[in-house]
């Protein structure tokens, strides 16, 4: 495999994992925002329990995606197969 192809794949993996990291961080931020200030979202969801559960679900999924994206970025930079898997 030519070196240029491997470099392109490395940069694409880095870009994709950076997008996953950014999306996860955004989800976690929205989940934290809803958890801290639920009054702004009461008109969207009528039940308080559903709003609280949704906020913590967003926070958990966002944190997991951010961690996955971060490890993927590190794996792409270091060319570590274990971190990418």
Tell me: the pLDDT tens digits for 68-77?
A: 999 999 999 9
20-56 per-position pLDDT tens digit: 999 999 999 999 998 888 887 777 776 777 888 889 9
Q: Which domain holds residue 15?
A: 3-83
Check: CB of residue 60 under 8 Å from CB of residue 30. no
Check: CB of residue 24 under 8 Å from CB of residue 66. yes
Q: What percent of the chain has pLDDT over 70?
A: 98
Q: In the predicted model, what is the mean pLDDT of residues 8-21?
A: 94
Residue 28: both structure tokens together? 């976690």
**9-to-21, 40, 65, 66 alpha-carbon distances in Å:** 18, 43, 21, 21
* Number of structural domains found in the chain: 1
Check: CB of residue 6 under 8 Å from CB of residue 12. no
């Amino acid at each position: 495999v030519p070196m240029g192809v491997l470099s392109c794949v490395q940069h694409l993996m880095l870009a994709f994992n950076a997008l996953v990291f950014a999306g996860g961080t955004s989800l976690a931020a929205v989940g934290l925002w809803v958890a801290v200030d639920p009054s702004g979202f009461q008109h969207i969801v009528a039940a308080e329990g559903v709003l609280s559960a949704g906020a913590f679900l967003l926070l958990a999924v966002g944190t997991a995606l951010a961690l996955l994206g971060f490890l993927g970025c590190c794996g792409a930079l270091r060319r570590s197969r274990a971190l990418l898997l």
